[in-house]
């Protein structure tokens, strides 16, 4: 099954939005084109934390007297609207940008955010992928290296803390999961946890096997997220609405159930096409298969990792 064949749900989405067909410019091109038209929605939360939605992955903003800290940078086609949204939050300058992982919908904006004054922080594997030619087979796309000014200059291996605006912010590496460089960002004073693309709230997640991801790694990362939060924690996913522990548990249970069903099918020696035809995700497709990843595509991703 090719990436084009597996992306039926995204083709339906792009047709509804009047965007080009995925076969013309690919999933990456479609996402970048969509960002040029996207409206930026700002959701304020406690502790001077807001979330910007609409340009690729969600962007978390922590504002205060020492300046703004951003978690992820979105897509540059939305730059003017992101800039306006940031100005509406406060007049504080941008001082830090944290990349939760290397994917374009979270890092394409690195260059302009750095030019605005931000030091960029990420896991060392995120720097590795952003500074080299990187191929993602399931997107049928090869990414060139980012320019020097867009690369993280502060990297870490397992975790680090950052003191900013009177709060100690914790950055922690998951280990390989969605990619091999995903991190969480925790704002303990506000009880807010940013989990990047380890959680797609309400959608099947993409798993990037080309750069170290796996279904089992995604489940381990989700278990780690659940262990960190309480019923009062605000949890910011990479995609989808901000959520809570109950929604995160529902997501974990879905991942485990589909993983176990696909593993049983593969154990019996069924091929990928036979596994897809068996529809092991059928019970979840109407709810979780409404965006980039539909049931067949998610089955393909899980099959690769069991």
Does this model's pTM top 0.75? My answer is: yes
Could you report the per-residue pLDDT of 79-102, keeping only the tens digit for each? 999 999 999 999 999 999 999 999
| CATH architecture of residue range(s) 3-303 | 4-Layer Sandwich (3.60)
pLDDT of amino acid 25: 59
Tell me how crowded residue 228 is: count the other CB atoms within 10 A of its CB.
Answer: 18
Task: Using alpha carbons, select from 54, 47, 53, 61 the residue that is nearest to residue 31.
Answer: 54
Strands (E) located in the chain: 41-45, 49-53, 59-62, 68-71, 94-98, 119-123, 134-136, 141-143, 154-156, 159-164, 167-173, 183-187, 192-200, 234-239
pLDDT at 40: 96
Looking at residue 30, its pLDDT comes to: 87
Distance (Å, rounded) from C-alpha 169 to C-alpha 9?
37
Residues of the chain under the 70 pLDDT cut: 1-25
Q: Tens of pLDDT along 221-247?
A: 999 999 999 999 999 999 999 999 999
């Amino acid at each position: 099954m090719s990436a084009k064949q597996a992306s039926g749900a995204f083709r339906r989405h792009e047709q509804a939005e009047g965007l080009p067909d995925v076969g013309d410019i690919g999933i990456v091109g479609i996402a970048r084109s969509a960002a040029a038209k996207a409206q930026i929605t700002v959701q304020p939360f406690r502790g001077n934390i807001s979330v910007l939605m609409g340009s690729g992955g969600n962007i978390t903003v922590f504002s205060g007297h020492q300046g703004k800290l951003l978690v992820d940078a979105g897509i540059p086609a939305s730059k003017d609207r992101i800039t306006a949204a940031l100005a509406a939050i406060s007049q504080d300058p941008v001082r830090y940008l944290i990349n939760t992982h290397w994917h374009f919908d979270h890092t394409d904006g690195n260059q302009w955010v750095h030019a605005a004054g931000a030091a960029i922080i990420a896991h060392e594997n995120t720097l590795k992928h952003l500074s080299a030619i990187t191929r993602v087979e399931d997107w049928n796309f090869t990414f060139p290296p980012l320019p020097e000014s867009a690369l993280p200059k502060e990297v870490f291996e397992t975790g680090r803390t950052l003191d900013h605006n009177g709060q100690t912010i914790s950055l922690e590496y998951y280990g390989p999961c969605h990619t091999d460089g995903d991190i969480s960002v925790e704002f303990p004073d506000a009880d807010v946890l940013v989990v990047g693309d380890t959680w797609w709230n309400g959608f099947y997640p993409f798993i990037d096997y080309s750069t170290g991801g796996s279904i089992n790694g995604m489940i381990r990362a989700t278990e780690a997220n659940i262990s960190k939060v309480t019923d009062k924690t605000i949890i910011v996913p990479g995609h989808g609405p901000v959520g809570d522990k109950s929604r995160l548990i529902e997501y974990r249970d879905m991942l485990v159930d589909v993983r176990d069903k696909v593993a049983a099918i593969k154990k019996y020696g069924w091929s990928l096409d036979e596994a897809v035809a068996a529809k092991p995700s059928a019970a979840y497709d109407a709810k979780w298969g409404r965006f980039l990843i539909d049931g067949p595509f998610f089955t393909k991703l899980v099959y690769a990792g069991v």
